Amino acid sequence: MNRLTSSGAPAEGMIERRLTGVALLVVAVWMLLLTRLFYLQVVQGDVYKVSAERNSVRTQRVQAARGAVLDRHGDELVGSRPSFEVLVVPQEAEDLQTTLARIAGLAGRDLASVKASYGEPRGRARFQPQRVAHDLDRDELASVEARLWALGGVITQVTPVRSYRYGSSAAHLLGRLGEIGTDQLNDDQELSSYRRGDIVGRDGIEKLLDADLRGRPGGRNLLVDAHGRELDLLSLVEPQPGRNVVLTLDHALQEAAESALDREHKTGAVVALDPRTGEVLALVSRPAFDPNEFALRIDPLNWRALLDDPLKPLVNRALQGQYPPGSTYKVVTAIGGLEEKLVDPHTEVYCGGSFRLGRRTYRCWKKEGHGTVDLHKALVQSCDVYFYKLGLELGVNRLAYYARSLGLGARTGIELTGEMAGLVPTKEWRQLRDGTPWVEGDTVSVSIGQGANLWTPLQLATAYAAIANGGVRYRPHLLKRIEEPDGAIVKTFEPEIDGEVPVSAATLALVRSGLEGVVNEAHGTGAIMRNLPGGALAAGKTGTAQVVGMPAGARLDSEELARQHRDHAWFVTYAPADDPRIVVAVLVEHGGHGGSAAAPVARDVVVRFLENEMQVHAGNRP
């Protein structure tokens, strides 16, 4: 009995001690858990509350499709297409570098380009989706989506992307897009409604009407798990597509002009207007660029190539190129002479092939001369000597007055930005420029469109449109109307008169008669414009403008002459001559003679225009 008691007591004490130890351990564990719970819920409660909310509900922006741009016949020039994209929410990505590498492999993209697209998002941007790959094909998209379960914070979506149906066609007119930067948002109050990374118009119609074209983005709230994987759609606000813009442009004429310039890889510009309204029917600048490259983000190497290209494809030569007008200027000298009563239709001048002023001899383009010519014959055959003498009598300031009365030497006011003013020289201009007096020899050169004169192709087309229509200067314009996506008209644009040429109807009639003779009479320099569809007659004027830096003694017609030293070629025409409905001005840089280089381009445009009219009258075209 004693043995049992003595042997059982130690066992009971050991059990008690063990139970006490276990109880203390349990209490300690619970204290740790309670302490941790207090820390998480009280000390760090606000932080984890925000984090939980962000991880549970994701707000995602849904881009709106930009409005379409159509030509006057409803042909869609610019629209939108779907682009499959991959985006990453930085805050939700578990291992960012690994995630980006996996996306690059699945989407078939270079890892460096994926990282460059991702950038370095900071602040609020870390909670917003960052595009890392775009324009995936369906196989690439399927490859990514099949592994989304393992890619925390990765999103795929379909986004509308700008699509320029005809590539580089009308690129300078339509414009290009670009991604807006933080610096622009900070500096430009007009961009206050935009966000960093939004796509905006950089130039052309895309910039001019960006507010109408861009539409209104929508959004959606998504329920996601702790790894950023989508669980459910909570709410959706549908995006509102942008408004559509209808232009005055006739894309068939645009293509005809571009094809004609491209045929021999010519650099230059073409402008076609309706002289009755000022509507722009074609506006061409070559070389051009493909605005599709800018739809999202242009490759830096391609952008540098465009900037460094010596032919400057980003320059809109139609309204930014400034060139000596050559013999197309002779209508100004003729108008001035008639209005100032220095000549009449019967005044004759002898051309022996040259004109001498002081110790200098000014040659006519025709070495043997034109013989005795009156105003009509001088225009038809483009006799330099006749206009040398007439210009000298007028003087540079009176020449400038009549040039400016036609709208030359000033911006036309077309809707596009970047238009250049050109130059119409005067005595005062020379004195202000370099402090030297104007001399008579300068007037001789100016009177045939050489010297300091500088015009844009758009100015030349506008001036000849005023001559063709009887003296009304219309502001050239590109916009016909703006429409809602359902076709409801928001705004229409009417012709706008910019002024009237202060010249008598008789003077303009005499000049038009000469221009008609340029095309249709023997020895006329614009004979290529004969035999038009429907028997229509055209009128026009050729021009050959010397360039700065012509080597002394070089032959102007030499095929071996360096391109940059060759003459610019001009041709301006309107048709039909008795009822003008189209005016076309063509400039071919370093093209040589206007009649051989520029006139064939103009002919292609006029022929296409007349053929289209014939189809409309026959009921074969709306």
CA distance 468 to 511: 9
Residue given tokens 């094809």 in the structure block: 259
Write out the two tokens for 2: 């004693």
CB-CB contact of 390 with 342 (8 Å): yes
Q: Which of 325, 467, 456, 342 is nearest to 405 (CA)?
A: 467
CA distance 522 to 353: 19
Task: List C-alpha distances in Å: 465 to 158, 545, 595.
Answer: 48, 21, 20
Helix, strand, coil tally for the chain in percent (to 5): 40, 20, 35
Rounded CA separation 265/563 (Å) = 13
* Amino acid in the structure at residue 56: S
Determine the Cα–Cα distance for residues 255 and 601; give it in Å rounded to an integer: 11
Tell me if 589 sits within 8 A of 563, measured CB to CB.
Answer: no
The answer to whether 156 and 148 have CB atoms below 8 angstroms apart is: yes
Paired sense of beta strands 472-474 and 497-500, if any: antiparallel
Interacting residues of 527 by C-beta distance below 8 A, sequence separation 6+: 519, 595
- From CA 260, how far away is CA 601, in angstroms rounded? 5
Q: Is 6 among the residues known to form the active site? A: no
Q: Measured on CA atoms in the order 388, 390, 394, 398, is the torsion positive or negative?
A: negative
Radius of gyration of the chain (CA): 36
Which listed residue (83, 169, 327, 447) is catalytic? 327
- Which residues are known to be catalytic? 327
